[in-house]
Amino acid sequence: MLHAQGFVCNANYQKENLYCDVCPEDWPLIVQFCANDPKVFVQAALLAQNYCDAIDLNLGCPQMIAKRGHYGAFLQDEWNLLQRTILLAHKKLSVPVICKICVFPEIDKTEQKGPLSGAAFWEHIKAVWKAVAIPVFANGNIQSLQDVEHCIQDMGVQGVTSTEGNLDNPALFEGRSPAVWKLAKEYLDIMWEHPCPLSYIRAHLFKLWHHTLHVHQQL
């Protein structure tokens, strides 16, 4: 997720996050922005669209940083603002526009925030899929490849994404669950081949080891 205002104003931010070498395995590539101003979002998207396959507006982030910045799930009640944002993006961009959303407590309203993260409500996702004429991707409760298959079969959606599950086990979509030390070794080998900031490495290793270190606290 990139900050739209920062991307528009900071050339170094652009270079570090998108205007840099990517390996073929990174494609197809979707660039996600957080934004609360239609013009700023579209301006950032126009700068990014030649470097990706689609632009995503994040309306799903439930974290406190999103609340402080007034973006993510905390924009979902502002329907007029969101409509103006998406219509402007649809008009100006040459790549598809995607919105990642969180559910409302009411299933009918979801078809149209839940600021708290937790288990996904697949019935809400199914209701969205039935209510719209555009592709719908499901997200949530995906911890294995079997979950992916069940989600597509039960919901009828066009695709499935994973956030926390994929961070815990990057081999999820290959149907593998290797020991965390093997995943960490594989990740570090890739890191040496494709260097990245230390903060990224630290964050990924933290996610890989988090559950294991809760059990093996002596480590």
What is the set of active-site residues? 61
One-letter amino acid identity for 118? Answer: G
Structure letter (DSSP) for residue 107: H
Helix, strand, coil % in the chain, rounded to nearest 5: 55, 10, 35
CA 57, 36, 94, 22 dihedral sign is negative
Map residue 145 onto helix, strand or coil: helix
CB neighbourhood size of 3 (10 A):
18
Query: Which strands, in side-by-side order, build the sheet including 54-59?
Result: 2-3, 30-34, 54-59, 97-101
Q: How many CB atoms lie within 10 A of CB 178?
A: 14
Residue 69 CA to residue 2 CA, distance in Å, equals 13
